[in-house]
Amino acid sequence: MCANVIVAEDDEKQAELVRRYLEREGHAVRVVGDGLAALEEVRHREPDLLLLDVMMPRADGLDVVRVLRAECRELPVLMLTARTTEDDLLLGLDLGADDYMTKPYSPRELMARVRTLLRRSRRTGPEAPVVSQVLRVGTLTVDPERHEVSVGGEPKECTPGEFRILAAMAAEPDRVFTRQRLLEELHGFDRYIGDRTVDVHVMNLRKKIEPAPRRPVRLLTVFGVGYKLTDPAKGLPRG
């Protein structure tokens, strides 16, 4: 599974280590040392994967993700960060990164996550079959072909990870999805990815599709199991 990978890392020793491991697995690697160079390389080369350090000169990794998602690029992004607080780590997911690793990390674990992201992107890339059916759950509409979400006709912007979770649940409304099942929608089968990733995406989705995110009526928690998507109007008396 050879791929074109950009490594954006300003620590030269760390970048060289990552490059060697990637090339050992047959990937073509381009290393850059700052955020603006990363954006230029992505636009010029259209790679299969971006490994992105958070703390970089000229533009940090969070700004790079913001720009890429604003440009509607579906490029898988794995963020590498020395920041260890939960808020810092989860901000990258909120902006649209697909996964993150904290430094110091195991190169073998890094390669496992790279393989997972590449497998998932190939399943959902341009060559994958397109699901053209528009999904509706009450006033919530999910269009997999156009990658659009709306509630009551009002468009809602979703990150790639949020959209994958929402589309899976909209295809089977009222089904209870375990966190593991939603992780498979996000990353495929990978024991390295944590349940907290799903919780963050659900939290962010509620901010976008719920009238009151702290009191959800559409994207519900099933305690001890997972989550389900339902039509809040179901079961209400008609009048």
What domain count does the chain have? 2
Give the other-Cβ count within 10 Å of 63's Cβ.
17
Range of the domain at 88: 4-124
Domain limit, last residue, from 94, 124, 154? 124
Q: Is residue 237 part of a domain?
A: no
Domain limit, last residue, from 74, 102, 124? 124
Domain limit, last residue, from 97, 124, 151? 124
Query: The tokens of 43 are what?
Result: 């636009």
Exposure on the CB side of residue 134, measured as CA atoms within 13 A:
10
110 with 22, same domain: the answer is yes
Q: Express as a percent the part of the chain with pLDDT over 70.
A: 85
Domain of residue 81, CATH code: 3.40.50.2300
User: Whole-angstrom Cα distance, residue 108 to residue 48?
Assistant: 19
Q: What is the pLDDT of residues 21-61, one digit of tens each?
A: 999 999 999 999 999 999 999 999 889 999 999 888 888 88
139 with 119, same domain: the answer is no
Q: How confident is the model at residue 190 (pLDDT cuts 50, 70, 90)?
A: very low
User: Whole-angstrom Cα distance, residue 30 to residue 24?
Assistant: 14
Q: Is residue 235 part of a domain?
A: no
Q: What is the pLDDT of residues 89-136, one digit of tens each?
A: 667 777 778 888 888 888 888 888 888 788 776 655 544 444 458 899
User: Where does the chain show beta strands of DSSP type E?
Assistant: 4-8, 28-32, 49-53, 77-81, 99-102, 135-137, 140-143, 148-151, 154-156, 177-178, 219-222, 226-229
